[in-house]
Structure 1
Amino acid sequence: MPFGDPKYPVVNPSPDVDQTIRSLRTSDYLLATAMTGGSWAYGYIFGKPTRMACASTAMALGMTAAGMAMLQNGMQRLMGYKENAREVKMYGAWPVQPEIRPNTPGGRYPVATGLYSPSVAPPVDWRNYN
């Protein structure tokens, strides 16, 4: 995840896998079905001598990638990096929201100005580093 302020309300700044799976949408399931089916078709088309074995292996790889994509999309919604009106309505917003600063980088060569709030990435305490 980027070290930047989320554009939407934060539901949970560090969601676990169980909450992420509970908050999946129909579009996530359609994405997983399309990725799994598409990878099976790819394995079948290009696995000429052993079509079914190649298709099954490609489907397993596609299903793994689809599961990772589903979890990534769900976590991004819960953390506020994607549109999450449905999740905010269902679970409520996190009590401490990061302040949203306008992104005003300098033209063509942006300067690292620290466009994130301390609630997202707290400042480093250098006292313990001797």
Structure 2
Amino acid sequence: MELETYFTLLKLQSYSKQSSTMPFGDPKFPVINPSPDVDQTIRSLRTSDYLLATFLTSGSWAYGYIFGKPTRMACASTAMALGMTAAGMAMLQNGRSRLMGYRENAREVKTYGAWPVQPEVKANVPGVRYPVATGLTSPSVTPPLDWKNYD
């Protein structure tokens, strides 16, 4: 039993030694999985995601039918295919952002549990990641304004 606890602590320490568990930003909600795969994302979809896909697909079919006058059904089918593609991308984006902690995810945290090591949320401090506008650009980049012709 003591050996298992030791290996669990080693695993958690290796996670905490990483520079950041999130690659691109600080999430505002608990992280469930910092890098979820498509299967886990599809398993965690909500009813609102399926409704979004239904409305996007049917709305794009209606758009193709209304505005595709000479060949209504062909245009409607093509628009529906494009709408289905956009709906699939939107569903995966919403589900993945909930698992990564960028959207509200209380239901998912209750179902799947939180990731063992949560990233620390830092304030926006000046640096490479959060540059500060200094206003000291060279005249070759932004030449000074010529106010002579503004009467």
TM (norm. structure 2) is 0.68
Show structure 2 runs of 5+ residues with no match.
Answer: 1-21, 131-151
Fraction of identical pairs, as percent: 83
Count of residue pairs brought into register by the alignment: 109
Q: What is residue 110 of structure 2 aligned with on the other side?
A: 89
1:114 Cα offset (Å): 3.6
Q: State the Cα deviation string for residues 49-108 of structure 1 (Å, max 9, x = none).
A: 00011001100110011000000000000000000000000000000100011235xxxx
Quickly say closer, same or farther: Cα 1:33–1:2, change in 2 above 3 A.
farther
Q: What is residue 72 of structure 2 aligned with on the other side?
A: 51
Distance 1:112 1:59 in 2: 46
- Bigger radius of gyration among the two: 2
1:93 partner SS: coil
Q: What is residue 22 of structure 1 aligned with on the other side?
A: 43
Question: Does 1:5 find its partner at 2:26?
Answer: yes
Runs of 4+ in 1 over 6 A off after TM superposition: none
Q: What is residue 123 of structure 1 aligned with on the other side?
A: none
Show structure 1 runs of 5+ residues with no match.
Answer: 105-110, 116-130
Q: What is residue 120 of structure 2 aligned with on the other side?
A: 99
1:19 partner SS: helix
1:3 Cα offset (Å): 1.8
- RMSD of aligned C-alpha atoms? 1.7
